[in-house]
Structure 1
């Protein structure tokens, strides 16, 4: 049990995972009363995110709707430390799932939490779905612009994938031999790129919206969020190319809500996942919003958080 005193709004917290303290923000409703009980949400963010990005948007919105929301920096990201002997800016899929389980455990120690749900955005959708397979303390899950069925998306071009794997393997070998970190830009976007430079690389069809959020001059890029960088440990492909959410979709028992953009390049990651679900589930598809719009555009965030709140409150 925690002895921390909590107040309405944002509260900085820490919780143990892999033996170190992960740093999080716990958002509480405006009328928070520690003697009452509330539904709580563990938030999972996109691939490169820290808690000052999507959790800083979704946390206040869900608190406004009466929920407790926990957003946190995963192991090695933002304010959370790497393990001894390891490097910052490393996100390993199976550890992200375990970090999420520990976040659920932390929420379970709070006397004012009566029920825990999961809300994931982008890769966070895959994290939440994967965590929920064997963690039935999570009662319902919602995924927004989720990357759950990532195989068709990530492995479509096998030649390109094999190049990513080769580079990732070489990076892991280099770090093992030198003991030094090897940082790369997984999506081709560095912290110094201008919008024109990045879009000109023709990395993917989402380049403009990606830059608008993550770029040097983006809404929540490295200038706006001091704990954030687009540079990551170079062995990421060895981890991120493994997605278990799709493979275990038929094992998920919790009621599930899938929200996505029909027009987004990533839509298949939601639609293919939904096809494999055997549980009680609902989908909400939008034509007017893009993948990244759900990260921060007011109309898209309102649409998703309203739907999630209604779903979790049933």
Structure 2
């Protein structure tokens, strides 16, 4: 985006990557409300820069849900674009209620344990830890349709896995289920007023997370589907990144 003429701010949320956890909290926490608040803070910072005219929001994967949620009540953000986003995640996450209830029970127990001990309790919520080989993960993956591409990006030997990025880990704080199962942007989709662009792969397992979100929008919106890419391709593969970045740049530049 910077190469396309935009001032671009990327940052680690509190508790993630190189950013510290808050006092009394632990690293690898993904509280949805915190992620939204951090995004609002980023918008506030951009608003102090004299060379920034308008602020736009771009989110990839979970970032799509975050930017959609943040934009509901932050009208300082003038346009939003979501790429391979997980906005309409309820159907994706809550289909198997028995499995969900097990996840919630484990998360509740972990939350209580951490409160009582003051120590972090780390888990691999999607079955992928930092030591698994590709074969091991494919044999046990919770989402077989995405297992290969997930490992190739996040796995031990992946392009952005723990070997390649020293601050990265697939381990999350144990109350992950209490955090990720709450999807805000989907419930407030009809309240979004900013023009929006939704880019996704129509052949991806996660396509409904975009299409069901678009169906609920009442704003001025566009959607763009690419059959030739997968969900994870948009993260890093040059041809997918170029296609989505070009589309976002054109949309923001109008």
Aligned equivalents of 1:313 and 1:202: distance in 2? 41
Query: Which has more helix, going by share of residues?
Result: 2
RMSD after superposition: 0.6
Q: TM-score, normalised by structure 2?
A: 0.99
2:74 aligned with 1:129: no
Query: Which has more strand, going by share of residues?
Result: 1
Which structure ranks higher in relative contact order (CA pairs < 8 Å, sequence separation ≥ 6)? 2
2:183 aligned with 1:233: no
What pairs up with 1:139-178 in 2 under 5 angstroms?
Answer: 139-178=78-117
2:28 aligned with 1:81: no
- Give the match for residue 41 of structure 2: 102
Match of 1:186 among 125, 128, 135: 125
- Give the match for residue 267 of structure 1: 207
- Structure 1 residue 129, shift from structure 2 partner: 0.2
Segments ≥4 residues shifted beyond 4 Å:
none
Aligned equivalents of 1:203 and 1:132: distance in 2? 32
2:229 aligned with 1:289: yes
Aligned equivalents of 1:227 and 1:152: distance in 2? 32
SS for the counterpart of 2:63 is helix
- Give the match for residue 91 of structure 1: 30
Aligned equivalents of 1:211 and 1:116: distance in 2? 34
Query: Structure 2: any 5+ residue segments left out of the alignment?
Result: none
- Structure 1 residue 202, shift from structure 2 partner: 3.1
User: Residue deviations 1:261-298, cap 9 Å, x none?
Assistant: 01111000000000000000000001100000000011
- Give the match for residue 7 of structure 1: none
Match of 2:154 among 211, 214, 222: 214
Is the Cα–Cα contact under 8 Å of residues 127 and 141 in structure 2 kept in the other structure? no
